Amino acid sequence: MAAATSSSPISLTAKPSSKSPLPISRFSLPFSLTPQKDSSRLHRPLAISAVLNSPVNVAPPSPKKIDKNKTFVSRYAPDEPRKGADILVEALERQGVETVFAYPGGASMEIHQALTRSSTIRNVLPRHEQGGVFAAEGYARSSGKPGICIATSGPGATNLVSGLADAMLDSVPLVAITGQVPRRMIGTDAFQETPIVEVTRSITKHNYLVMDVDDIPRIVQEAFFLATSGRPGPVLVDVPKDIQQQLAIPNWDQPMRLPGYMSRLPQPPEVSQLGQIVRLISESKRPVLYVGGGSLNSSEELGRFVELTGIPVASTLMGLGSYPCNDELSLQMLGMHGTVYANYAVEHSDLLLAFGVRFDDRVTGKLEAFASRAKIVHIDIDSAEIGKNKTPHVSVCGDVKLALQGMNKVLENRAEELKLDFGVWRSELSEQKQKFPLSFKTFGEAIPPQYAIQILDELTEGKAIISTGVGQHQMWAAQFYKYRKPRQWLSSSGLGAMGFGLPAAIGASVANPDAIVVDIDGDGSFIMNVQELATIRVENLPVKILLLNNQHLGMVMQWEDRFYKANRAHTYLGDPARENEIFPNMLQFAGACGIPAARVTKKEELREAVQTMLDTPGPYLLDVICPHQEHVLPMIPSGGTFKDVITEGDGRTKY
């Protein structure tokens, strides 16, 4: 029997035991010691939660129709007993898993032993569990398939927390498996025990504590289904060590038990709803598309929609690449550090088509003033997002892909009747593009960080998969690299987790072995998971690291410059005793792991240095020394409006 948890407390049961009742320690048991006959309590309906980019359709097939296991050939005879850990690994194999990011420990050793007996699953060994979960995210974000990470109990499990929260906020399909102390020791403050189900309750879409070895096949099937259906998100499966060691004969034909969740999955949108949206488009003069992570799986349909309507496209940070950033109808990113013309378009629009977005504060600023002149159409797969921050005039709870397909059919059938023409509006926005282009200042021979990204974009022809940490370099990478396709851009958007870039690049490189993968990182973010250089070297992954090194915690420093009279409050990351030297020496980190590296300090030397990085087989680190005075612009201060946009100035100016 499994103890399953969701975002609110739930009463659960365990099978009767011959052992005496366990003492209750500082936290309560996640299951009841009193057996219950009513098993319906074990399957509380789940809410669709936390994710914008869905890798499956809204109305997935019934569990009874799933036939993944029909062609699977097990290495065990049907009636041959095997350990719970081997059942778990085979369950992963039956889900098509080829790669996991797993770091072993005492409570997960059995799983790792079972992994060595698998001929199809590769373990990419991270050097820290946070590196493992971020790598699993990079794998998922770049491929659309669920990422798998495994950790031991206690500190191993808690090291996954940032990655789970990140996947929750950015709607990333993830299955995290953790070892747990034996069932009889749960709740006793045993060595390396943490109640990880309770710890992660609010930052996972769902989680399980496995209390019966016979439940493993069903739980794993449910975990993958939950992670990838509806609004995707992370699911955690906690497996006590004695369950891993117990011998059993698995039943692979168990049905999933998710009736409440299945009944809540959105249905395909009604034709009448889509017709109403098309009517609003035909009546508008200044429409604009506002697309987010929920549009990543609908890139083709979105492109056709724009072709049929001629409506310009503004993207969120999560939505970059869903529509080509180099297209003339692209307004690029909107929001706090979005382009002036994207924010101008929203400010002056009369119809805002919000597809797969959640009206995040970094996009809207002051909510009351955001798109205040516009009628709002909101399409999202998660009903909880509809009207949460901004009340729409028309809403559709459903898959953006299906909605776009339906609207495209309506538009194609009524093309002659509608005769949409937004040429005057597009011309107005083109004038804004000419008047307020993305630009940057020069600092003599020093290298502007934006210029380094422009050079990378040019030399890779915009085809690289880009991961980032969090901070100024993240915003510049969003602004100055022109993403052509979805899943090229991997960044911790909602959580803003520093240290994300390097391990995410590992996951992306594993999922896309023939792609150019570049981690555009800052010195502050890079050093947070610098140990993953060892993983890159051992796995011989061709990850390139473009390190924009300004010796400061750049984004916080920018706010200090703008709002705190440039008072430095622990944002200098170098050695105060040797301010004229670059500290730490990032090249030595790379050298310690046998990774070739170089440093460039002059603008005239940059192009050749970037080309050398790209031409060098295998991994490479390029340390680009940048002036710390540069600011990310444009900038709308937090809680501000379009009228508050800042387009000038840097750290050389006093405010």
pLDDT block averages, 10 residues each, the chain of length 655: 40 36 36 38 34 34 45 94 98 98 98 98 98 98 98 98 98 98 97 98 98 98 98 98 98 97 95 96 98 98 98 98 98 98 98 98 97 98 97 97 98 94 98 97 94 98 98 98 98 98 98 98 98 98 98 97 96 96 98 98 98 98 97 97 96 86
H-run or E-run covering 87: helix 84-94
Q: Which residue blocks in 284-313 are alpha helix, DSSP H?
A: 299-309
What would the CATH number be for the domain defined by 82-263?
Answer: 3.40.50.970
3-state secondary structure of 200: coil
What is the secondary structure of 205-227 as a DSSP string? Answer: SEEEEE--GGGHHHHHHHHHHHH
Q: Is 129 one of the catalytic residues?
A: yes
Place of tokens 């997935």: 60
Helices and strands in the chain, H and E counts: 24, 21
In angstroms, rounded to a whole number, what is the distance separating the alpha carbons of residues 398 and 148? Answer: 27
How far apart, in whole angstroms, are the C-alpha atoms of residue 84 and residue 2? Answer: 14
- Give the closest residue to 45 by CA, choosing from 227, 268, 266, 257: 257
Q: Of 1, 555, 557, 613, which is the active-site residue?
A: 555
Q: What is the pLDDT of residue 2?
A: 45
* Phi, psi dihedral angles at 394 (to 5 degrees): -135, 130
Rounded Cα distance between 244 and 238, Å, is: 11
* Strands 287-291 and 313-315, bridge-based pairing: parallel
CATH number corresponding to 271-435: 3.40.50.1220
pLDDT, residue 652, reads 87
C-beta separation of 107 from 505 below 8 A: no
Other CB atoms closer than 10 Å to residue 554's CB: what's the count? 29
The rounded distance, in Å, linking the Cα atoms of 136 and 139 is: 5
Catalytic residue among 36, 192, 245, 531: 192
- Supply 524's token pair: 């502050």
Q: CA–CA separation, 566 vs 619, rounded Å?
A: 37
| Residue 586 known to be catalytic | no
Inter-CA distances, 128 with 6, 23, 108, 233, 291, Å: 27, 33, 15, 22, 34
Can you give the length of the chain in residues? Answer: 655
Residue of 93, 129, 193, 630 marked active site: 129
346, 350, 354, 357: CA torsion to nearest 10: 40
Residue of 80, 191, 283, 611 marked active site:
191
137 a catalytic residue: no
- To the query of whether residue 498 is one of the catalytic residues in this protein, the response is no
- Helix/strand/coil for 380: strand
Rounded Cα gap, residues 285 and 303, in angstroms: 20
Task: Give the per-residue pLDDT at 293.
Answer: 98
SS3 465: strand
At 478, list the tokens: 């969003």
**Which of these, 291, 266, 635, lies nearest to 489 by C-alpha position?**
291
Is there a shared CATH topology between the 271-435 domain and the 449-632 domain? Answer: yes
What is the three-class DSSP state of 593?
Answer: coil
The answer to whether the peptide bond before residue 584 is cis (omega within 30 degrees of 0) is yes
Cis peptide before 23 (omega within 30 of 0): no
Tell me the CA distances in angstroms from 151 to 22, 101, 243, 619, one per residue in order: 26, 9, 16, 26
| Cα-based torsion angle of the residue sequence 390, 391, 394, 399 in order, rounded to the nearest 10 degrees | 50
| Cβ pair 236, 174 in contact under 8 A | no
Residue 386 CB neighbours (<10 A)? 18
What local confidence, expressed as pLDDT, does residue 9 receive? 35
Residue of 83, 205, 241, 482 marked active site: 241
- Contacts of residue 588, Cβ cutoff 8 Å, sequence gap at least 6: none
The span from the CA of 217 to the CA of 251, in Å, is 7
**449-632: in CATH 3.40.50.970:** yes
Residues 422-478 pLDDT 10s: 999 999 999 999 999 999 988 899 999 999 999 999 999 999 999 999 999 999 999
Of the candidates 631, 630, 613, 629, the one whose C-alpha atom is nearest the C-alpha of residue 621 is: 613
Cα distance between residue 110 and residue 556, in whole Å: 44
Rounded Cα–Cα distance for residues 228 and 265 (Å):
12
Task: Compute the chain's Rg from CA coordinates.
Answer: 26
Q: How many CA within 13 A on the CB side of residue 271?
A: 3
Question: Annotated catalytic, 307?
Answer: no
Between the alpha carbon of residue 85 and those of residues 79, 91, 214, 244, 517, the distances in Å are 17, 10, 12, 4, 34
Nearest to 53 by CA among 467, 400, 501, 300: 400
Instruction: State both tokens at 10.
Output: 């739930």
Locate the domains of the chain by residue range: 82-263, 271-435, 449-632
Q: How far apart are CA 462 and CA 300, in angstroms?
A: 18
Q: Cβ neighbours of residue 330 under 8 Å, at least 6 residues apart?
A: 312, 313, 315, 323, 324
Give pLDDT, residue 70: 59
